[in-house]
Amino acid sequence: MFPELTPHIEYPWVESLDTGDQLTNFPVDSVAFNYLVEGEPAFKAKRYEEARTFYQKAVAQDPQGYLGYLYLGDSYYFAGNAQEALKQYERAISLNPWDYRCYFYKANACRKSGLVKEARDAYRMALLLRPRYEPLLRTIEANQAFLQVKVKDIRFDPRVLVRLREETVEILVNAEEVWIS
């Protein structure tokens, strides 16, 4: 459709500046990140306890790094311990409330734990941060009875985007939707 207004940021962070808020990358500790990478083969092989040892090293290396808590949460979630996963996801949210994954994963753990309102609220936050993310949309749609929501497949897809860039007005048109009458 339209090009992204801002480039995709894998690990988003909002920094408050005198001139306003700025979307940037979350500062990631390289040693801690390497521990996360080292744990991935075990995680993919469903050896969650083994993966967890690497994720715990990442958290020990960088206690303020939210990614370690996300990965740690996943190691508990996929091992069947949604309650412990939930604690880790909440810690990740407390460190970085700007990454949709924190809320998406928390919502899944809440759903698995039978926490309807908490799951619904967390899915809502994930949607606010990443509204067109298909896996999130499909998960909500598949669980609408549990969440006590009705999903309507009505999306706002603008045909034209107008924005001011310095002294120039840019008009972006979705070429797939253009027609002449």
Model confidence, pTM: 0.80
Residue 164 falls inside a structural domain: no
Q: Specify the DSSP class assigned to residue 30.
A: H
In a domain, 159, yes or no: no
Bridge partners, residue 25, by sequence = 12
> Does any domain span residue 170?
no
Amino acid symbol at 144: Q
Q: Assign residue 38 the CATH number of its domain.
A: 1.25.40.10
Residue 5 lies in a domain: no
Whether 156 has a pLDDT exceeding 80, the answer reads: no
Q: Which residue has the tokens 């810690």?
A: 91
Query: Could you give the CA distance from residue 69 to residue 38 in angstroms, rounded to a whole number?
Result: 15
Tell me the average pLDDT across 5-12: 67
What pLDDT digit, counting tens, does each position of 21-58 carry?
A: 888 889 899 999 999 999 999 999 999 999 999 999 99
pLDDT in tens, 75-125: 999 999 999 999 999 999 999 999 999 999 999 999 999 999 999 999 999
pLDDT at 10 over 70: yes
Question: What mean pLDDT is reported for the chain?
Answer: 88
Helix (H) or strand (E) holding 9: none
pLDDT over 60 (residue 5)? no
Q: Range of 108's domain?
A: 12-154
Task: Report if residue 106 sits inside a domain.
Answer: yes
Stronger pLDDT, 123 or 180, i.e. the higher one: 123
How many structural domains does the chain have? 1
Rounded CA separation 91/95 (Å) = 6
Q: Is residue 24 part of a domain?
A: yes
What local confidence, expressed as pLDDT, does residue 4 receive? 46
Query: What are 88's two structure tokens?
Result: 């880790």
Question: Is 26 part of any domain?
Answer: yes
Q: Which of 89, 92, 39, 31 is nearest to 62 (CA)?
A: 31
Look-up: residue for tokens 């309102």?
Answer: 117
Q: Which residue has the tokens 């298909």?
A: 134
Q: How confident is the model at residue 135 (pLDDT cuts 50, 70, 90)?
A: very high
pLDDT at 39: 98
